Amino acid sequence: MSDQTDISLAFELEDITLLECVYHAEAPIQGRELDRRLLVQNPGKRFSLDVKRRKNVLRANVSVQFGLFDRKEKVNIPDAGLQPLEVVHFGLVAGVVVTAPIMGGEAIAPRHLAGDKTPEAHRDEKMERGMRVEAIKAAYGLATSKLLELSAMSPIGSIMLPLIDTDEIFDDIVRNETEV
């Protein structure tokens, strides 16, 4: 097998930086009926080529916000009216750098693919998706460990982020990007 036709991807997490983190516990969680809310966003992404190292580079910001809300206790918020009390709030922004090898001009594409897109365009879309999903996974992993660390030091006790389907989260992010 020649180097030109080998398109196996090896995503590499080159850097992850905690840019911002917030944790606030408003009230004890014992004895409350709590709802969880989770928001994962990818507000910034920039792709480039590192020709010298023969790598595609993604520099992305990923935001993770998580809250525990009391179903029964309400608070009056200006401009929003009565809202559930947010008992715990956690937010994190991470800067992530993911790389993948530059692929040659050849690409394997299913024969059934028809339309305007070339096999290379399909390959590039799959690579972009894969790199962004990898960035989301890395930032979510950092957020999970950071929330566990911060909550364990508080009187509330250990809180963990829920398990997620990263592909589904990514699809939601892309849907929101196209609606704007």
Number of domains in the chain: 1
SS3 116: coil
Residue 20 burial by Cβ neighbours in a 10 Å radius (0-12, 13-18, 19+): exposed
Report yes or no on 82 lying in a domain: yes
Report yes or no on 1 lying in a domain: no
Residues 6+ apart with CB under 8 A from 133: 166, 167, 170
Report yes or no on 44 lying in a domain: yes
Report yes or no on 2 lying in a domain: no
State pLDDT tens for residues 122-152.
778 888 899 999 999 999 999 999 999 999 9
Report yes or no on 91 lying in a domain: yes
Report yes or no on 6 lying in a domain: no
Report yes or no on 30 lying in a domain: yes
Structural domain boundaries enclosing 21 = 12-108+117-179
pTM: 0.84
Q: Which residue has the tokens 């709030």?
A: 89
Region label for 3, one of left (φ > 0), alpha (ψ between -120 and 50) or beta (otherwise): alpha
Tokens of 124: 């590039």
Report yes or no on 5 lying in a domain: no
> Does residue 70 contact residue 36 with C-beta atoms inside 8 Å?
no
State pLDDT tens for residues 31-43.
888 999 999 999 9
Cα–Cα distance between 93 and 169 in angstroms, integer?
16
Cα–Cα distance between 170 and 130 in angstroms, integer?
10
The CATH number given to whatever domain includes residue 43 is: 3.10.420.10
Which has the higher per-residue pLDDT, 121 or 176? 176
